[in-house]
Amino acid sequence: MGLNIELNEQAAQPVLFIRARTTLEGLPLLIGESYRKIAEYLAELGEQLANAPYTAYYNLDMQDLDVEMGFPVAGPLPGKGEVKAGEVPAGRYVSCMFKGPYSQMEPVYNEMNKWMQGNNLEPTGAAYEYYYNGPQDVPESELLTRISLPVK
């Protein structure tokens, strides 16, 4: 597949996030609504996004997904209502930039898992997907997503 898979040390990243449960079918709407709510709260605070928005997947049960939608921010900010303050934990992450439709990301995850096994690394937490653009901005073939998996 010719992917550029990397292992990096990452500092803790302050974030504002909403965590929820949904089905796979409900995921796009949930992500959109959550990003809108977080963006409105950021505007209210007079703050800006510090990096690409993300969705973290805590499980892979497509009928009961446990997900976190978040915005990286420059420094710790207070939460408000369902928008919580937190951080993406510091640690070692295996990452890969993928260009293409979301529906074609499964083989990328499979390649990353093979790479981790070959390098004696074990995933330790949520899978993070950082979205550098969206279907409203570019054709599906041009979507840029960085997949980041914490490892030990």
Question: Quick one: pLDDT at residue 136?
Answer: 87
> Which CATH number is correct for 5-151, 3.20.80.10, 3.30.920.30, 3.90.1490.10, 3.40.50.300?
3.20.80.10
DSSP label at residue 52: -
What ranges do the domains of the chain cover? 5-151
Q: Can you name the residues that pair with 13 across neighbouring β-strands?
A: 88
Longest dimension (CA), the chain: 47
Question: Quick one: pLDDT at residue 62?
Answer: 86
Q: Identify the CA nearest to 109 among candidates 123, 120, 88.
A: 123
In Å, how far are 96, 98, 112, 127, 152 from 4, measured between CA atoms?
6, 9, 10, 17, 20
Q: Are 33 and 82 in contact (CB under 8 A)?
A: no
Separation between Cα atoms, residue 97 and residue 106, nearest integer Å:
13
Q: What is the pLDDT of residues 62-115, one digit of tens each?
A: 899 999 999 999 999 999 999 999 999 999 999 999 999 999 999 999 999 999
Question: Quick one: pLDDT at residue 97?
Answer: 96
Q: What is the pLDDT of residues 62-71, one digit of tens each?
A: 899 999 999 9
Can you list the positions of beta strands (E) in the chain? 5-10, 13-22, 54-57, 65-72, 84-88, 91-99, 127-131, 144-151
pTM: 0.94
Q: What is the pLDDT of residues 1-55, one digit of tens each?
A: 568 999 999 999 999 999 999 999 999 999 999 999 999 999 999 999 999 999 9
